[in-house]
Structure 1
Amino acid sequence: MKKSFHIIGMGRVGQTFAAVLPKSGRWKLAAAVSRKNNPGVLADCLADKIVPRIQDLPPADAILIATPDNILKNIAEQLAQLPWLAKETLVIHFSGAKTICVLDEVVKCGATVGSLHPVFAFADVEKSIRELAGNLCALEAADAGAMAKLHDLAAAAELRAFEISSQQKARYHAALSVASNFSVTLAAFAQDLLAPLHFSDELARELVSGLMRQSVDHLAELPPLSALTGPIVRGDDSTVTAHVSVMDEAERQKYRIWAAATLDLARSRLDSGQIKALEKVLNISDGCMN
């Protein structure tokens, strides 16, 4: 017998799970709470399932909260008013930063809570629906029973699950944010450095993304120190000097921050003379930027 689920919030994450979970044959979408009557690419199949308020939700086996983090507590308070919540009801959020403590009001009503964070960039709904399966997801729960329910939900979405404690949630999310967000910022900086060359946007993107893609591929098979290439890990201070000489002061400051971090990573592959020469170019003394 299929289990029923609701989704609160029909953004990219909500739409993706509304489409993916029913494909397993084990779950069916009962209702979706959305401020919009036309929730994106799923408008046709959701036409009769949209409800405007949480109070309008009928009983279901699970409630999936796919709203922004800063309103999760408010959503939990509204859910706590539902008269049909029971221990068998699973209530989860998708946040990678917030812990299950944000759902405490639901716990007081006796429901089971958890967190399922897909390690996936939901940039486009249709692409996410096609490509979500096979990716990792982090599961957080207070007990074994709740964790078992989360594993079942992850399996239905064809996600590869691993467990994480509430105490480590913020550090976990910080690491993923660095990997995802900072790489985009770094790509933007690299493309900005190319601007004076008057390349087309398409060529600039291909130059930067092509090398970044190769580096990411290397990182999938090697530790960062082994995957590192370029003038810093080669100890080539003359090339680094040439880099900073053609930059304006704002560019130079950004470059030095990234270069100093790269030098820290590369130290074990360099001799003391190479390290001192690079530190001089980058204005580093006693491990600090000047």
Structure 2
Amino acid sequence: MKFGIIGAGIVGTALAVRLEEAGHECIGVHTRSRLSYERFCQYLVKEHLTLDALVSSADGLFITTQDDMIREVAESLSLKPLIKPAQVWIHCSGSLPSNVLRIRNDLSVRCLSLHPLQAFASVEKALAILPGTHFGIEGDDQEFGEGIVKDLGGIPHHILASQKSLYHAGAVVASNYLVVLASLAVELFAEAGIEGTEALASLLPLMRGTLYNLEQVGLPQALTGPVARGDAQVVRGHLEHMPSKLIEIYQGLGLKALELGQNKKAQQGLIYSPEELNRLKSLLSKFI
């Protein structure tokens, strides 16, 4: 495939490098930023081309701009008179469906979304972890998309375009809200006298251990702690000493933990005693 990159950020640069290594040919790159183009050329020296040149020559165009620019780029491309027949337009947004690229129904282009389910802090990091990265795929030619993902060394998953916002929400919970949970834990440690970087440093091994357990035994078996054990007295102690602004967050998470705990026990042929279950539900639903 001859492909072009529109938007030379971290993702666009890393995709171009890995696709070239897989045997595809990057014919050029288009970006508004001189600095991003210069950085792109540190990894892959390619000509800076106009949109007209890219759209008339490439088999595929990767639109790797910020999400709020994707529609605008597609609109600009749709106005070009010499679009290569059967061209595929690909964006890498986790929240936008592929049909955001479908500006005109009379164009023969295929619209596709390939979203890497990973957080890339730098081009070097992206290049290192693209192999083995999971991708969410939806759009006109998912078989073609699967091939691209496999050429990148990734793992493809087909998602429903109509529910893509929920897919993205799941990714946000797993990635962004993990940082929020760490912040919450650090705040509670500070109340107990362990503050700042010391608190985070002491919590990270525990978090890594939990991630390891998730890898080894999965859900719900990786759940441990007082809710999983049915220890309502410990949960009550947490709530009695907790800053009031954090109680509702703790309770919401605790109710989800109780649901997982019930599933875990069911898989083991066990149940909470009625007294345990009622005490936990009461504490996690309302605490005065």
1:19 corresponds in structure 2 to 17
Structure 2 distance, partners of 1:255, 1:165, is 32
Counterpart residue identity of residue 271, structure 1: S
1:273 corresponds in structure 2 to 275
Counterpart residue identity of residue 109, structure 1: L
Q: Is the 8 A contact 2:20 2:26 kept in 1?
A: yes
- TM-score normalised by L of structure 1: 0.86
2:269 corresponds in structure 1 to none
Structure 1 distance, partners of 2:177, 2:100, is 27
1:32 corresponds in structure 2 to 29
1:169 corresponds in structure 2 to 164
- CA shift at 1:283, angstroms? 4.2
Q: Does 2:59 align with 1:64?
A: no
Structure-to-structure mapping, 1:114-193, within 5 angstroms: 114-142=112-140, 146-193=141-188
Superposed CA offset, 1:197-245 (max 9, x none): 4546443223322222222222223342211100111111221122122
Structure 2 distance, partners of 1:150, 1:281, is 48
- CA shift at 1:48, angstroms? 5.1
Give the 3-state SS of the residue equivalent to 1:105 in structure 2: coil
Aligned pair count reads: 279
* Cα distance change, pair 225–48 in 1 and its aligned pair in 2 (3 A): closer
1:80 aligns with one of 63, 78, 81: 78
Structure 2, unpaired ranges of 5+: 266-271
Q: Does 2:224 align with 1:222?
A: no
Could you say what the CA RMSD is over the residues aligned between the two structures, in angstroms? 2.4
- TM-score normalised by L of structure 2: 0.86
* Cα distance change, pair 19–251 in 1 and its aligned pair in 2 (3 A): same
- CA shift at 1:248, angstroms? 1.4
Give the 3-state SS of the residue equivalent to 2:228 in structure 1: coil
Structure 2 distance, partners of 1:106, 1:152, is 26
Q: Is the 8 A contact 1:5 1:29 kept in 2?
A: yes
- CA shift at 1:90, angstroms? 1.4
Q: Is the 8 A contact 2:230 2:277 kept in 1?
A: yes
Percent identity of paired positions between Structure 1 and Structure 2: 28
Give the 3-state SS of the residue equivalent to 2:29 in structure 1: strand
1:205 corresponds in structure 2 to 200
Q: Is the 8 A contact 1:41 1:125 kept in 2?
A: no
Structure 1 distance, partners of 2:104, 2:124, is 32
- CA shift at 1:93, angstroms? 0.7
Structure 1 distance, partners of 2:95, 2:15, is 19
- CA shift at 1:265, angstroms? 2.3
- CA shift at 1:38, angstroms? 1.8
- CA shift at 1:55, angstroms? 4.0
Give the 3-state SS of the residue equivalent to 2:113 in structure 1: strand
Counterpart residue identity of residue 248, structure 2: Q
1:251 corresponds in structure 2 to 246
* Cα distance change, pair 55–272 in 1 and its aligned pair in 2 (3 A): same
Superposed CA offset, 1:7-46 (max 9, x none): 112222112212221121x112222222211217434345
Structure 2 distance, partners of 1:111, 1:99, is 16
Give the 3-state SS of the residue equivalent to 1:167 in structure 2: helix
Q: Is the 8 A contact 1:76 1:103 kept in 2?
A: yes
Greater CA drift, 246-255 or 105-114: 105-114
Structure (1/2) with the larger helix percentage: 2
Structure 1, unpaired ranges of 5+: none
* Cα distance change, pair 237–97 in 1 and its aligned pair in 2 (3 A): same
